[in-house]
Amino acid sequence: MTGQTHRNVDIAELDKQSYLHPFTNVMDHQRTGPWMIESGDGIWITDAKGQTYIDATSGLICVNVGYGREEIAKAIYDQARKLCYFHTFWATGNEPAARLADRIVEITPPNMRRVMFGTSGSDANDTQIKLSWYYNNVLGRPQKKKIIARERGYHGTTLGAASVTGMPALHKMFDLPIPQVIWASAPDYGKKAKPGMSERDFSISLAAELEALVEAEGPDTVAAFIGEPVMGSSSGVLVPPEGYFEEIGKVLRKHDILFIADEVVNGFGRVGDMFASNLYGLEPDLMTLSKGLTSGYVPMSAAVVSEKVWQVLQRGSEEFGTFEHGYTNSGHPVAAAAALANLDIIERENLVENAARVGAYLQKSLRETIGAYAEVKEIRGIGLIAGIEFFERDEKAVAADPTEGLPVRIMRQCYEEGLIIRAIPGNRTVVVAPPLVITEQQVDDVIERLERGLRKVCGGPVRQAKVAAL
Mark whether 296 and 362 lie in a shared domain.
no
Assess if residue 27 is contained within a domain. no
**For 264-286, how does the pLDDT look when each residue is reduced to its tens digit (9 = 90+)?**
999 999 999 999 999 999 999 99
Residue 426 has a pLDDT of: 85
Residues 343 and 349 sit within 8 Å (Cβ to Cβ)? no
The larger pLDDT score, comparing residue 3 to residue 369, is at 369
What pLDDT, in 10s, does the model give residues 430-443? 999 999 999 999 99
- Statement to judge: residues 382 and 276 lie in one domain: no
Q: Report the pLDDT value the prediction gives residue 315, as an integer from 0 to 100.
A: 94
What is each CA distance from 88 to 113, 129, 327, in whole angstroms? Answer: 18, 21, 9
Q: Are 160 and 350 in contact (CB under 8 A)?
A: no
Domain identity same for 79 and 59: no
**Both 92 and 209 in a single domain?**
yes
* Proportion of the chain above pLDDT 70, given as a percent: 94
Residue that is last in its domain, among 306, 332, 348? 348
- CATH code for the domain in which residue 377 is found: 3.90.1150.10
What number of residues does the chain have? 470
Q: Are residues 370 and 427 in the same domain?
A: yes
CB-CB neighbours of 342 under 10 Å: 26
**Does a structural domain hold residue 21?**
no
Residue 24 lies in a domain: no
Surface-to-core class of residue 419, CB atoms within 10 Å of its CB (0-12 exposed, 13-18 middle, 19+ buried): buried
Q: What average pLDDT does the structure give for the chain?
A: 93
Look at residue 470 in the predicted model and tell me its pLDDT.
46
Q: Please state whether the predicted TM-score (pTM) of the whole model is above 0.95.
A: no
The CATH number of the domain holding residue 263 is 3.40.640.10
Residues 278 and 185 in one domain: yes
Last residue of one domain, picked from the residues 328, 348, 368:
348
For residue 14, tell me if it sits in a domain: no
**12 within some domain:** no
Same domain, 41 and 89: no
- Residue 227 placed within a domain: yes
For the stretch 158-175, pLDDT in tens is 999 999 999 999 999 999
**Which of 293, 319, 348 is a domain's end point?**
348
* Phi, psi for residue 443 in degrees, rounded to 5: -60, -40
Tell whether the model's pLDDT for residue 394 goes beyond 60.
no
Residue 469: its pLDDT value, please?
47
Closest CA to 189 of 259, 236, 257: 236
Work out how many domains the chain is built from and give that number: 2
Is there a single domain that holds both residue 164 and residue 276?
yes
The dihedrals phi and psi of 388, each to the nearest 5 degrees, come to -110, 115
Return the pLDDT at 430.
96
Q: What is the mean pLDDT of residues 231-257?
A: 95
Domain that holds residue 167: 73-348
Which residue, 192, 143, 175, 131, is CA-closest to 378? 192
Whether residues 83 and 226 fall in one domain: yes
Residue-level pLDDT at 465: 45
Q: Provide the angle, in degrees to the nearest 10, between the axes of the packed helices 440-458 and 351-369.
A: 30
Is the pLDDT at 124 greater than 80, yes or no?
Answer: yes
